[in-house]
Amino acid sequence: MEQNEKEPINSAEDTQANHIETENNEKVEENVAENEVKNTDTDAKIAELNDKYIRLYSEFDNYRKRTIKEKADIIRSAGEEVFKAILPVIDDFERAIKANELVTDAEPIKEGVTLIYNKLKTSITSKGLEVLESIGKPFDDSYMEAITSIPAPSEDMKGKIIDEVEKGYKVGDKVIRFAKVVVAS
């Protein structure tokens, strides 16, 4: 009889163990299902971020190529405008050379060269070229290059420019050729 009494106890314990095991299995299945959903969400986010990265990289690469092309076009067109401004001056020089073959008096040649020089100066000035004035001004190494110094003729001329060997030029704020000057010391 003792065994019969133990059987229901074992059955109750077994039932309770089965019930706990079933609950644990259900919880494990729920966790697996939740992890699968999380993995699917994570995979979708990774794919979305990867797509965004590829699109952004492509946009930047296109932007870089476009700006390089635009910069080259700007440089090319700027040079073209300067050449268009100089071409009439070249034509004038060619006419002057042809006309000077028969001239015996030097005065018309001087006048013609002066007119052509003024036309060239006006053309390049209209394109933004500026002469850097330096004679009588204090030496400034940001747009001048001292090639020599000589004794100052007066006390107030010390450190100032006495002579200009080559004029300096700038376009906008950029110096394209430094003035070569003689400084009084």
Report yes or no on 154 lying in a domain: yes
- Beta strand segments in 29-173, E: 129-132, 144-150, 161-166, 168-171
pLDDT confidence bin for 24, thresholds 50/70/90: confident
Q: What digits encode the pLDDT tens for the residues 105-156?
A: 888 888 888 899 899 888 888 888 888 998 989 998 888 999 999 998 888 8
Q: What digits encode the pLDDT tens for the residues 40-70?
A: 888 888 999 999 999 999 999 999 999 999 9
Strand order in the sheet with 129-132: 129-132, 168-171, 174-177
pTM score: 0.54
Report yes or no on 107 lying in a domain: no
CATH assignment at residue 142: 2.30.22.10
Report yes or no on 101 lying in a domain: no
The pLDDT, as a whole number, for residue 180 is 93
9 pLDDT above the threshold of 60:
no
Report yes or no on 38 lying in a domain: no
pLDDT confidence bin for 25, thresholds 50/70/90: confident
Number of domains in the chain: 1
Residue-range definition of the domain harbouring residue 149: 131-185
Report yes or no on 161 lying in a domain: yes
Report yes or no on 166 lying in a domain: yes
Report yes or no on 2 lying in a domain: no
Burial of 102 (0-12, 13-18, 19+ CB in 10 A): exposed
